[in-house]
Amino acid sequence: MAARWGGVARASVFRLGWVRAGWTGLWLAAAAGSAATELEVISSAEICGTCHRAIYEGWNRSAHAAATESRLFEGALAAAERDFGEPARPLCLSCHSPLGVHLRDLSLQQKVSREGVTCDWCHSVRRVRFRGPNPAPVLEFSLVKTGPSKATRAVVHGTEYAAVHRGAAICSPCHQYRNAAGLNLIDTYEEWRRSRYGRARRSCQSCHMSQVAGDVVDPRVQAVSGAQINLHEMPGSSSVNQLNQAVRMVLAAQRKPDAIEVEVELANIGAGHAMPTGSPLRELILEVSAAPRQGQPSAEIRRYRRVVADRDGKPIELEHEGFFRAAAVVSDTRLAAEERRLERFRFLTAAGDPVEITARLSYYYSPLARADSAKRVVFRTISRWVQ
């Protein structure tokens, strides 16, 4: 085992052939009338999707499914390998292709390795160890799959309830990371643990894997009552709806004799962690503009981010460098869980000239600090005219 999973995955990986292990008919049909497909100890998500169709379709739209093949990650991985050599690849893939690391398939030749954070990774986790600098999953790869339900009984593989699937701990191995310099570069799990949400044991899943209508198993394979599943799309920073639920923005503006005074209240009302969380290259950007009907428009920008630096105090501007070189937090202007912040602006304008005030809030992420590698999501815009 390489990088962060060293020594924690303990079941051997092998091909079972046609398995007969006490469960009836270990046969999967890709569609009605199609040929049977063999179930392996570690299978492609597509195989899982033949029975768990609704769950697969949600996961297939998720950032987990795109973890190895997103252009943002591909660019950052290439830069990390160029700048830091051989250790970079297993370190990056330990979260972006954990099965690839486990299978020693660092070149991602196998389909399951290219599937990012895939079914047989999460559903092989039995518990998480919090020893050493980083949380580490304890996994057993077999035809017994773990999950959050005590009542589920499958016909094609065994099932086992694992409490870890109901709590935030299962997210921590990838959403909490201390680098070799001792800096918590990714601190999402600890942000959550220190918040009211963590104290109340309100888990990550309650926001990112809410229950929705859907069949756990395709009814053609097995009839399961309830018709509800956890949302495996796991919406996060790419979801406008999720961002809107996390951050509230209120705009107030009033005319003064020679200016418009603006107040914008921002509140992290829905995230059990800082906004934004994760990589220090992520930030919220508040842009407030004043556009007079007759005069020249003007604007001000406020940024909410965490700035980290190397041992010499030089700020880290490329994400992959942070994993190897970041040693200290220089500043942190992010919105903590439940924090409210009032921002004030003043725009000089001529008396009697109507002005359109616009506040725009966006999520921005640029791991390579280049425009063509950036992701920007504008998720709140408020405009009003002031006479």
pLDDT at residue 224 in the model: 64
User: Taking 90 as the threshold, does the pLDDT of residue 156 lie above it?
Assistant: no
Higher pLDDT, 222 or 194: 194
User: Taking 80 as the threshold, does the pLDDT of residue 49 lie above it?
Assistant: yes
Instruction: Residue 57: count other Cβ atoms within 10 Å of its Cβ.
Output: 13
Across 210-225, average pLDDT: 75
pLDDT in tens, 299-351: 999 999 999 999 999 999 999 999 999 999 999 999 999 999 999 999 999 88
Q: What is the DSSP string of 105-168?
A: -TT--SGGGGGSS-HHHHTTEEEEE--SSS-EEEE--SSEEEES-SS---SSSEEEE-GGGGSG
Across 48-57, average pLDDT: 93
User: Taking 50 as the threshold, does the pLDDT of residue 17 lie above it?
Assistant: no
Across 205-209, average pLDDT: 96
pLDDT at residue 221 in the model: 64
**Non-local CB neighbours of 203 within 8 Å, separated by 6+ positions:** 166, 167, 168
User: Taking 90 as the threshold, does the pLDDT of residue 20 lie above it?
Assistant: no
Across 116-135, average pLDDT: 97
- Point out the least confidently predicted range of 34-48, 189-203, 327-341, 343-357: 34-48
Q: Give the chain's mean pLDDT.
A: 88
Across 91-115, average pLDDT: 98
Domain boundaries, the chain: 3-167+204-230, 240-386
**pTM of the entire predicted model:** 0.87
Higher pLDDT, 44 or 30: 44
Using alpha carbons, select from 30, 34, 32, 36 the residue that is nearest to residue 17.
36
Across 22-38, average pLDDT: 41
pLDDT in tens, 172-190: 999 999 999 999 999 999 9
pLDDT at residue 37 in the model: 54
pLDDT at residue 222 in the model: 67
Higher pLDDT, 121 or 370: 121
Across 193-214, average pLDDT: 93
Across 2-10, average pLDDT: 38
Topology at the third CATH level for domain 240-386:
Immunoglobulin-like (2.60.40)
User: Taking 60 as the threshold, does the pLDDT of residue 31 lie above it?
Assistant: no
pLDDT at residue 27 in the model: 41
